[in-house]
Amino acid sequence: MTVPTGTRPDDARRHNRFALLRRLHIDGPCTRATLATELGLNRSTIKAVVDGLAESGVVTEAVPAQRSGAGRPSLLVLPQPQSAVVLAVDIRVDQVTMAMVGIGGQVLGRHSWNLHRTTRLPGEVITHIAESAELLREELAVTTQGVGVSVPGVVRRSDGLVHEAPNLGWRDVALGQRLAAVLQRPVQVANDAELGALAEHVRGAARGSSDLVYLSADVGVGGGVIAGGRPLRGTGGHVGELGHMLVRPGGRACFCGAQGCWETEVGEAALCRALGLPEDTPRGVLVAELRGLAAAPEKIDTILREFTEWLVIGLVTVVNMMAPELVVLGDLFTALPPALVERVRERVHERSLVSRAIGGIRIVTSPLGRDAKLVGAAELAFEPVLGAV
With respect to residue 2, please indicate whether it lies within any of the assigned structural domains. Answer: no
Do 215 and 355 lie in one domain? The reply is yes
> Around Cβ 144, how many Cβ atoms within 10 Å?
22
Q: Which of 291, 270, 182 is nearest to 220 (CA)?
A: 270
Do 301 and 327 lie in one domain? The reply is yes
Do 236 and 331 lie in one domain? The reply is yes
Q: Which amino acid is at 362?
A: R
| Neighbouring C-alpha atoms within 13 Å toward the C-beta of 180 | 14
Per-residue pLDDT of the chain (389 residues; tens, 9 = 90+): 555 555 445 567 888 999 999 999 999 999 999 999 999 989 999 999 999 999 999 999 988 776 655 556 678 999 999 999 999 999 999 899 999 999 999 999 999 999 987 778 999 999 999 999 999 999 999 999 999 999 998 899 889 999 988 889 899 999 999 999 999 999 999 999 999 999 999 999 999 899 999 999 988 899 999 999 998 877 766 676 899 999 999 899 987 788 999 999 999 999 999 999 999 899 999 999 999 998 888 888 889 999 999 999 999 999 999 999 999 999 999 999 999 999 999 999 999 999 999 888 999 999 999 999 999 999 999 999 988 87
Do 150 and 48 lie in one domain? The reply is no
Do 22 and 171 lie in one domain? The reply is no
Do 281 and 295 lie in one domain? The reply is yes
Do 211 and 159 lie in one domain? The reply is no
Do 360 and 264 lie in one domain? The reply is yes
Do 282 and 317 lie in one domain? The reply is yes
With respect to residue 357, please indicate whether it lies within any of the assigned structural domains. Answer: yes
In the DSSP assignment, the letter for residue 208 is: T
Do 28 and 155 lie in one domain? The reply is no
The pTM (predicted TM-score) of the whole model is 0.90
Range of the structural domain that residue 284 is part of = 207-367
With respect to residue 5, please indicate whether it lies within any of the assigned structural domains. Answer: no
CA-based torsion, 31, 33, 38, 39: positive or negative: positive
Do 212 and 357 lie in one domain? The reply is yes
Q: Which amino acid is at 287?
A: V
With respect to residue 116, please indicate whether it lies within any of the assigned structural domains. Answer: yes
Number of domains composing the chain: 3
CA distances from 259 to 239, 250, 251, 307 (A): 20, 6, 5, 17
Alpha-carbon gap, residue 35 to 304, rounded angstroms? 49
With respect to residue 142, please indicate whether it lies within any of the assigned structural domains. Answer: yes
With respect to residue 201, please indicate whether it lies within any of the assigned structural domains. Answer: no
Do 178 and 269 lie in one domain? The reply is no
